Amino acid sequence: MALGPVMLGVEGLALTAEERELLNHPLVGGVILFARNYQSPEQVAALTDAIHALRQPRLLIAVDHEGGRVQRFREGFTRLPAVRRLGEIHDQDPMRAKQLARVTGWLMAAELRAVGIDFSFAPVLDLDHGVSGIIGDRAFHHDPEIVADLAHAYVSGMQKAGMEAVGKHFPGHGGIAADSHLELPVDPRPYADLATADLLAFERMIHYGLAALMPAHVLYPQVDSRPAGFSARWLKEILRQNLEFHGVVFSDDLDMASAQEAGSPPERARAALMAGCDVALACNDRRAAVAILDHLGLKPDPVSQVRLIRLHGRGRSNLKRLHYHPVWQRAVRLVQDYDASPLLDMDI
């Protein structure tokens, strides 16, 4: 059975009979997990095993696990700092910051792979323009070249642990204050301004071989009349043709308030996929997810299949075995040390 173009959320700590049936639907290609799905490493490993056992090729399993405010699994996992901390260290010692970014990316991915997660929706490639509360310290820095350098190191660490990366939120969510979970943000900047700032980090990471991207539910009216995640101009023309991106494009969550301008749940999913997304996310509304599966009216795209297979995680350990490994122990010490230590004032 092919991997379909819809990624769903599940409700609890174990699959219900209804969820097993839903996940066997041919339009489903993956599952995204949240804090509601996590109790312990052992429990979530059993959940991922159950999901992966349903089909071949196995469904993709994802989670938002950036660190800082956005880390779905807490107890039993290493506390990861917000990546802003790496940007602050870069201002004083770029080489150390890149080394720590690589270690942090490896640690995040290694722990998730040990419980069966295929990939995290990370890293954030947005710039911190100092105006977006929803981005804020989730961004590495305000300088796109520094964001790209740190993200490149972070992703290389993830890949060493057997995980590909998903950069977000293309073409940049950091320039407006509005929260796309609650309303549709509107960024009035012209394309030329975006191209010399926010887009640069994405362009650099595409050049480095980034496997997947997630567009923002943000409207850039000087570029197109549709938000980026529903815009063929952004996804097919700018991203695919101009920037030559060949990886997977995930929609952001179609349950968010900023996505509702695209219509009913099936209309939103169809609009995202027709605009150029490979996968539509329906995370938190079961009735909406069922409606999408019942009324989407699209078949899996063979080109998307090739892209999606690349996102299956490589290798599998378990957390107990990982915790005995000296590489993991050293990584935890390094991450905890830079998270806790004060920055030095280099002007003194």
| Distant-in-sequence, close-in-space partners of 103: CB < 8 Å, separation ≥ 6 | 157, 331, 334, 335
Task: Identify whether 181 is a catalytic site residue.
Answer: yes
Task: Identify whether 252 is a catalytic site residue.
Answer: yes
Marked catalytic residue, from 25, 129, 142, 181: 181
Confidence of residue 132 (pLDDT cuts 50, 70, 90): confident
Cβ proximity of 53 and 23 under 8 Å: no
Marked catalytic residue, from 64, 187, 224, 252: 252
pTM of the shown model:
0.95
* Dihedral sign computed on CA atoms, order 125, 118, 273, 10: negative
User: Tokens 């150029």 identify what position?
Assistant: 276
In the chain, the domains with their CATH numbers are: 6-56+69-340 (3.20.20.300)
Residues 52-100 have pLDDT tens digits of 999 999 999 999 999 999 999 999 999 999 999 999 999 999 999 999 9
Cβ proximity of 196 and 171 under 8 Å: no
Confidence of residue 345 (pLDDT cuts 50, 70, 90): very low
Q: How many CA atoms lie within 13 A of 102 on its CB side?
A: 11
Cβ proximity of 120 and 70 under 8 Å: no
